[in-house]
A and B are shown apart, each in its own frame.
Chain A
């Protein structure tokens, strides 16, 4: 079971409280987690990554195990602690805009 923490605006949009838990088949990567997240909550399509290119939106960041995973390739495996559910993947709205 994968745990995902969404930023407040996306929790409101998707009508979820607290963490989201997802089943991800196969290797646990950014792409696999986002695919599962968007399948569960279609309203989140386009909010975290571009709907066509699947590139991460500029002001969205991914953190896991106190490290910034934003610039890792989308098919790179996430840390084991995320894959086992010991730690959540944090999706964060970047500090921007003043």
Chain B
């Protein structure tokens, strides 16, 4: 029977949760890297025992950890992230120029085919790549050439938080930055284009045609249909049917279209999930009810999923990297909260249960299915 491994990054360490394919009983291991912030850990699709973790600390900076045995043992690898050439400036919150300065790695995206190749999305926003298993990192600097001098940090910092690799176009990568927007390369990072047409941010960006400056929170796509992308923006849930060339809103009947994560069902490309959050100043679910919303129509029509989730007095948040799906036949859906719970559904969201409930605030959740 398959084994499921859930990789959880928290504010004070990493945890690895394992279960069999029934996903009812879970073993919990951790904290790994106790006391450090683990923004993200993820396994290689080409070798599920190859894991990468971003370990950081306000005191002691950034480390990258690598495991070759599914998280049993780890070794620190390269932690030198130096911007290519003269770093230049971006805009600070007040609109003044600010030199680019590396702060941390938000997201690690292993290559779909090469276990030694992994991408790192960092703050201040840039994309780095390693082709030697994380030992050395090189920036893909053309990205910051796309009006980088106009990028401005979101409230959480100017982070490159989302990296989507296109399985049908090996040289195509989508990335998203708060608060600059979506960018796409079709030549493995040599050139980039902003892909923000159709995004509306009327209060933050008075120019309705602004190419950059949008506060994109998360992108998701289905491996079998990579030209269709879904986006949770600061406000608005959006969809693109042309690989990001244009976007249209699919928020429909959501109680609020603010939120952070968005994921796509493993087997149904038009089934998507979001967790509505009250507003940008009230980072908790509306009415204190923790509800995942599912659309089976690729947006517009949404249903609340509540069974097993707290429906009163719940004021947690779900961060952008803290939701994932597994690939078992009955698709599993998982998300972690800032209250330290990780909830799982083994029936595509119809019912939920906490698989661990008292961790430090959860920053990221990833899932692996092992044969």
Which A residues contact B (CB, under 8 angstroms)?
7, 9-10, 12-13, 43, 45-48, 51-52, 57, 59-60, 93-94, 96-97
| Inter-subunit contact A9/B61 (CB<8 Å) | no
A to B CB contacts below 8 Å, 25 in the list: A7-B59, A9-B36, A9-B57, A9-B59, A12-B34, A13-B76, A43-B63, A43-B76, A45-B80, A46-B62, A46-B79, A47-B61, A47-B63, A51-B79, A51-B80, A51-B82, A52-B82, A57-B60, A57-B61, A59-B59, A60-B59, A60-B60, A93-B59, A93-B60, A97-B58
User: A45 and B79 in contact (CB under 8 A), knowing A9-B35, A9-B36?
Assistant: yes
How many inter-chain residue pairs (CB < 8 Å) link A and B? 41
Which B residues contact A (CB, under 8 angstroms)?
34-36, 57-63, 76, 79-80, 82
Say how far A85's CB is from chain B's closest CB, in angstroms. Answer: 25
| Bound Cα distance A97, B57 (Å) | 11
| Inter-subunit contact A13/B82 (CB<8 Å) | no
What residues of chain A lie closer than 8 Å to B36, measured between beta carbons?
9
| Prevailing SS type, chain A contact patch | loop
| Bound Cα distance A93, B61 (Å) | 12
**Extra inter-chain contacts (15) besides given A51-B82, A60-B60, CB under 8 Å:** A9-B59, A12-B34, A13-B60, A13-B76, A45-B79, A47-B60, A47-B61, A48-B60, A52-B82, A57-B59, A57-B60, A59-B58, A59-B59, A93-B59, A94-B59
| Bound Cα distance A46, B57 (Å) | 11
What residues of chain A lie closer than 8 Å to B79, measured between beta carbons?
45-46, 51
Say which residue of A45, A46, A51, A96 sits within 8 Å of B58 (CB atoms): A96
What residues of chain A lie closer than 8 Å to B34, measured between beta carbons?
12
| Inter-subunit contact A13/B63 (CB<8 Å) | yes
What residues of chain B lie closer than 8 Å to A94, measured between beta carbons?
59
| Bound Cα distance A48, B58 (Å) | 11
| Bound Cα distance A49, B39 (Å) | 22
Say how far A49's CB is from chain B's closest CB, in angstroms. Answer: 9
User: A46 and B80 in contact (CB under 8 A), knowing A9-B35, A9-B36?
Assistant: yes
Nearest B residue to A49 via CB reads B61
Interface centre among A9, A12, A48, A94 (most CB of B within 10 A): A9
Nearest B residue to A52 via CB reads B82
Say how far B290's CB is from chain A's closest CB, in angstroms. Answer: 27
What residues of chain B lie closer than 8 Å to A51, measured between beta carbons?
79-80, 82
| Bound Cα distance A7, B60 (Å) | 10
What residues of chain A lie closer than 8 Å to B57, measured between beta carbons?
9
What residues of chain A lie closer than 8 Å to B58, measured between beta carbons?
59, 96-97
| Bound Cα distance A38, B36 (Å) | 20
| Bound Cα distance A60, B61 (Å) | 10
Say how far B136's CB is from chain A's closest CB, in angstroms. Answer: 13
| Bound Cα distance A14, B52 (Å) | 19
Nearest B residue to A50 via CB reads B61
| Bound Cα distance A45, B81 (Å) | 12
Say how far A61's CB is from chain B's closest CB, in angstroms. Answer: 10
What residues of chain B lie closer than 8 Å to A12, measured between beta carbons?
34
